[in-house]
Structure 1
Amino acid sequence: MGASKIMPFEATAIESIPDTVNRCKATFRAQTTKPLSYRLTQLRKLYWGINDYADALVESCKQDLGKPVFETFMAEVDWCKNDIVFVTKNLEKWMKDEAAPDIAFSNSLLNPTIRKEPLGTVLVIGAYNFPVQLQLGPVIGAIAAGCTVVLKPSEVSPATAMVIKNIVEQYLDPDCVAVVNGGVPETTALLNEKWDKIFYTGSAGVGTIIAKKAAETLTPVTLELGGLNPAFITNNADPRLAARRLLWGKLLNAGQVCMSENYIMVEKEILPQFVEQLKIALKEFYPNGQRNSEDYARIVNKRHFQRIKKMLDETRGKILIGGEMDESQNFMEITVVLVEDEHDPVVVDEIFGPIMPILVVDSIESAIRTANSVHSTPLGLYAFGSKAETSKILNEVTSGGASINDAYYHGSIPTLAFGGVGNSGQGAYRGKASFDTFTHRRSVTTTPGWMESLIDVRYPPYAGKLAKMRRLTTQKPNFDREGREIKGVGYWLSFVFGLGANSLKGAVARWVMVALVAVGLKKAQGSSSLPPWLR
């Protein structure tokens, strides 16, 4: 099955899109997708669909991106299969109701609970650079959450889009998950539908359009965007490790990675060693050159090739390594450029290709100022140096995620929540975070009938009731007017009675405190009627 021929790309008929969406909505309203057993069955079938079509996915990724077999299995096929296994092993636990945390004793009588409920019918719009992981990854989360989902794969990776369509149609419930292929017209038609959530991976420009469209119907969005990701190399860094790891970050998928470093700031003393180590590592990785290697991808199409080439044509920097390219094959060699400032054309825009700009800095402080001025909320941040230096960088530069002494390793762990901040996106997914992003945490309380006499203070007429209400609800501050914390008897009583009502520790602590108070009162009255264990 997986060795079957990849069909030519075919766009979905626009007039069929409303019926597809309505079918998924009807399935959700029928409660079909809510049971654990249904979700697990769909996820397990998707696993075997990916497994059976592994060879076809390898071939389609090669057709679309020239992607090496190793990279397709590591970051696409095996990534999705491992994610499904992790999700299925933990889904029952994630779906369970949660007791509300830190509930006061009086509120615990209402059994406050958080239910995990699917958002509904969701739209997933995928990206071309990792056309399996970035498209099926969110779908895994949507199915796990109990949603129905329509997937719109990227038309820029058409071969993989068709393979994914085959997998979904052959292995999954067509009333639960559907694939719509096409370009701008089909995407526009999808955005004209009302969704319970839209999940988009791609550029900030398109993300802005989607966010505006979603705002018209108050539809929540998760946006996984790119960013001008900075890397820092201090004089205390290991130049060999920095070179090898950052070079790997730029070589993977020919630099077409949203987390890839967009520019590297290097303290001047370590620059010669770093550049030399780049040359050594490059020769080690590709002893016969990148052009002749099966381990190096190609740029996805001529439009993106020309976009990246234009940056190199306009740079004011000096090429230190590489620069070879062949448009007929969409081949572009890794190109290291020493730039003069952060306003160079290869720095001001997201590269999304195999260009590695280096900017020399005088100090860590200078590098931090540059990072915060170029793009204050990148998707990733990569710092090499002493612990004190990397801690300072983490503390003073905001990013969606960060890898210390490596290139975007934080994004390669499928159980670690992944997402941007500010201009690099909103929301997160992967592992449990994928379940959470398509789940509504619904707060529920149940007020027993016998409590009516306790809560009648809330009913009109209000005359004479305010003081009573305040005695029941007012929280005493544990701080003075200068903001200093006060830890007196009242503080400890408040702490004990505020412990979680459903916590064994909290229950024990409350009854111990009640017993101690009772003992104190009896002793104060000189009573000798206490039981032996309280005397």
Structure 2
Amino acid sequence: MSTVKIAPFEATPVDGIKATVNLCETAFRAQKTKPISYRLTQLRKLYWAIDDNKDALVEALRLDLGKPTFESFLSEIDWCKNDIVFVTKNLNKWMKDESAPDMPLTNSLLNPRIRKEPLGTILVIGAYNFPLQLSFGPLIGAIAAGCTGVLKPSEVSPATAMVMKKIVEESLDSTAYAVVNGGITETSALLEEKWAKIFYTGSANVGTIIAKKAAETLTPVCLELGGRNPAIVTKHADPRLAARRLLWGKLHNAGQVCVSQNYIMIEKDILPLFIEQLKIAMKEFYPNGTKSSPDYARIVNNRHFHRIKKMLDDSRGKILMGGEVDESQNYIDITVVQVNDEKDSMIVDESFGPLMPLLAVDSVEDAIRIANSVHSTPLGLYPFGTKAETSKILNEVTSGGASVNDAFFHGSIPTLAFGGVGDSGQGAYRGKASFDTFTHRRSMTTTPGWMEGLLAVRYPPYAGKLAKFRQTAELKPNFDRSGNEIKGLGYWVGFVLSLGGDSTKSVLSRWVLFALVAFGVKKYSDAGGLPNYLR
């Protein structure tokens, strides 16, 4: 039994929330968070505070989710620490101005560039399933971007919320960053404030409420929502690999992973082999079952236990593996169910738990049709099969992200941008994307005084100036009225030179090049100026 003491959960007084937000806004307006030295100091202090409190975090995650120690470090503690190290090593590069690409010569004289500026004071609303990662991850990005902000952890994981509050208050600048704990009342009070951006991770229903509230004040949002994510296993897939990898997708955190597959569609020819391999893998991973294993988490609370159990009870499918539940522990075994209807409760509803419905299909085309009808924009997509088959699935099913021949591997890479699309969310974060999501890309130019003579063409009176202006500003199309590309001199010169090789081709290339150049000179002379294809 752990000797680490976790403070009892305590909600933040609602009447103090406005003052907390004002304090953070004042710090931002004072410009204190903009220097890179300040940002790096805050991030480094946060790193060591997480490290110093790792035992408390392990215990809190055990209390909240029954999370195994291995998973607590893998996807929570070390995840956040590694994220901080990656960000601090790259922040100087990310903050630098960017030169504007593909500028005409006249515009390049104005030094067009993109400046990276923090959005302001932001709000992060975390989730319960990965309470540390999904709260501190966005906060790390906000600090890196130079924002101030308030973190609202999920009250459904109360022990971890209290440890995070302790970490923030002991390590970060208290005038710039704060934690507000509580439930609906406290969240509602936070949403009454004006923010530079709101970052929310959770359900689509709550995400809709937040987006509506944010729209009242034209506040941008980044929404990381759940998804009824399909896995598709073709008859040419390796049944052993598919079984092991998709089983892992449900055993991690007891399936409480927003990007985990919600259901598996599998071609009928391979279904028996796939089921056999599932049983083999299950015995290997949990020789004595999941209930007595220290490597298997629990459902976060009794309400979610009953929600998942109801999905199982309402299903008309046949249980092939698992099925054991224990309300006293909020325990639900990994349960494999063969369903026969795409409208089954286990297909149309997001389980967010250790349920693995299998739906046999006649073909890949059938699976694609079902995936697009059940949920048009899932958060994740998991095709197993040949390169041609997986490419077809990726091309015809839209998703926030995808892992080919694996379960949510794309979602386990901390430096790879992660986000949903459509119903599964908007915006992305992680790695550089975390910096970008809280950064305003400010386009800028600087016009030197000596250019005034060149700029005279833009000033009234306009008489006689349009033709002169269009000579310097109008771009000539490289396509005709039918939409076909016009291959000009540059294309043919490149083509001839690409022949190269032996001496004969080299001589030919030189003669053709000479002819083309001569033709261009003649056109130049005839037209009294530079030919269109050389402009």
* Aligned CA-pair RMSD: 1.8
- How far apart, CA to CA, are the structure 2 residues paired with 1:184 and 1:372? 34
Task: Tell me the distance in 2 between the aligned counterparts of 1:4 and 1:254.
Answer: 24
Structure 1 residue identity aligned to 2:400:
G
1:151-300 matches, cutoff 5 A: 151-300=151-300
Change in CA separation of 1:23 and 1:492 when aligned onto 2, cut-off 3 Å: farther
**Is contact 1:3-1:53 (8 Å) kept?**
no
1:324 maps to 2:324: yes
Which residue number corresponds to residue 304 of structure 1?
304
Moved more, 182-191 or 462-471: 462-471
C-alpha distance in structure 2 between counterparts of 1:447 and 1:350, whole Å: 55
Q: Quote the residue 2:441 is aligned against.
A: 441
In the alignment, is the contact (CA less than 8 A) between 2:117 and 2:441 conserved in 1?
yes
Q: CA deviation at 1:492?
A: 9.8
CA displacement 1:343-381 (0-9 Å, x = unmatched): 101111111001101110000011001101111100000
Three-state SS of the structure 2 residue aligned to 1:223 is strand
Residue 116 of structure 1 is matched in structure 2 by 116
Query: Secondary structure in 2 aligned to 1:440?
Result: strand
**Given residue 261 of structure 2, which amino acid in structure 1 is its aligned partner?**
E
Q: Which amino acid letter does the alignment assign opposite residue 63 of structure 1? A: L
- CA-to-partner distance for each residue in 1:140-167, whole Å, 9 max, x for gaps? 0000000001000000000000000000
Please name the residue that 2:38 is paired with. 38
Find the counterpart in structure 2 of residue 349 from structure 1. Answer: 349
Aligned to 1:486: 486
Q: CA deviation at 1:490?
A: 7.9
How far apart are the structure 1 equivalents of 2:188 and 2:223? 17
2:96 equivalent in structure 1: 96
Does the 8 A contact of 1:123 with 1:149 survive in 2?
yes
Amino acid across the alignment from 2:382: Y
Post-superposition shift, 1:463? 2.1
SS in 2 for 1:306: helix
Greater mean deviation of Cα atoms: 482-491 or 75-84: 482-491
Q: Distance in 2 between matches of 1:209 and 1:89?
A: 37
- Alpha-carbon deviation of 1:473? 1.0
What's the CA shift for 1:4? 4.8
The aligned amino acid for 1:105 is L
Alignment of 1:63-74 (within 5 A): 63-74=63-74
Distance 1:269 1:381 in 2: 21
Contact 1:3 1:56 in 2 (8 A): no
Task: Give ranges in structure 1 of 5+ residues lacking alignment.
Answer: 494-515, 526-535
Residue 416 (str. 1) matches residue 416 (str. 2): yes
The amino acid across from 1:246 in the alignment is: L
Letter matched to residue 474 of structure 2: T
Deviations, residues 217-248 of structure 1 (Å, cap 9, x unaligned): 00000000010100010011000000000000
Residue 497 of structure 1 is matched in structure 2 by: none
Q: Return the alpha-carbon distance in structure 1 between the equivalents of residues 219 and 464 of structure 2.
A: 45
Q: Which digits, 9 at most, give the CA deviation of each residue in 1:428-483, with x for residues without a partner?
A: 00000000000000000011111111112111222222222211211100001111
Distance (Å, rounded) in 2 between the aligned partners of 1:168 and 1:487:
61
Is the contact made by 1:150 and 1:178 (CA closer than 8 Å) also made in structure 2?
yes
**Alpha-carbon distance in structure 2 between the residues aligned to 1:471 and 1:133:** 56
Answering whether residue 372 of structure 2 is matched by residue 372 of structure 1, we say: yes
C-alpha distance in 2 between matches for 1:273 and 1:237: 11
The CA distance in 1 between the partners of 2:351 and 2:469, in whole Å, is 61
Q: Which amino acid aligns with 2:289?
A: G
1:37-61 deviations in whole A, cap 9, x for unaligned? 0000000000001000000000000
Q: Contact conserved, 1:65 with 1:297, CA < 8 A, in 2?
A: yes
Look up the SS of the partner of 1:429 in the other structure.
Answer: coil
Distance, in Å, in 2 between the alignment partners of 1:170 and 1:3 is: 21
TM-score, structure 2 normalization: 0.91
For residues 87-110 of structure 1, the C-alpha deviation after alignment (integer angstroms, 9 at most, x for no partner) is 000000000000001111111010
TM-superposed deviation, 1:491: 8.0
**Where do residues 426-437 of structure 1 align in structure 2 (5 Å cutoff)?**
426-437=426-437
What is the percent sequence identity of the aligned residues? 76
Q: 3-state DSSP class of the match of 2:357?
A: strand
1-structure distance, mates of 2:227, 2:376: 10
Give CA-to-partner distance per residue, 1:492-522, whole Å, 9 cap, x none: 99xxxxxxxxxxxxxxxxxxxxxx99xx989
C-alpha separation between the residues in 1 aligned to 2:84 and 2:385? 36
**AA in 2 matched with 1:391:** S
Counterpart contact for 2:124–2:139, Cα < 8 Å: yes
Instruction: Give the secondary structure class of the aligned counterpart of 2:264.
Output: strand
Q: Distance in 2 between matches of 1:490 and 1:298?
A: 65
TM-score norm. by structure 1 comes to 0.91
Residue ranges of structure 2 left out of the alignment (5+ in a row): 494-515, 526-535
1:471 aligned to 2:471? yes
CA contact (8 A) 1:123 1:195 kept: yes
- For the 8 Å contact 1:3–1:55, the answer to whether it is kept is no
Structure 1 CA distance for aligned equivalents of residues 431 and 490 of structure 2 = 43
Shift of residue 489, structure 1, vs aligned partner: 3.7
Counterpart for residue 496 of structure 2: none
Quote the Cα distance in structure 2 between the aligned partners of 1:117 and 1:230. Answer: 38
Aligned equivalents of 1:4, 1:310: Cα separation in 2: 35
- Corresponding position of 2:507: none
Q: C-alpha separation between the residues in 2 aligned to 1:53 and 1:3?
A: 13
Structure 1 residues 230 and 109, CA gap change in structure 2 (3 angstroms): same
CA contact (8 A) 2:4 2:59 kept: no
In 2, the alpha carbon distance for the partners of 1:457 and 1:483 equals: 33
Give the match for residue 533 of structure 2: none
- Maintained 8 Å contact 2:301/2:330: yes
Match of 1:506 in 2: none
Question: Partner of 2:407 in structure 1?
Answer: 407
Q: How does 1:75-94 map to 2 (within 5 A)?
A: 75-94=75-94
Q: Against the structure 1 CA distance between its residues 521 and 386, is the aligned structure 2 distance closer, same or farther, given a 3 Å change threshold?
A: closer
Residues 239 and 490 of structure 1: CA distance in aligned 2, closer, same or farther (over 3 Å) = closer
Aligned to 1:20: 20
Q: Distance in 1 between matches of 2:12 and 2:288?
A: 43
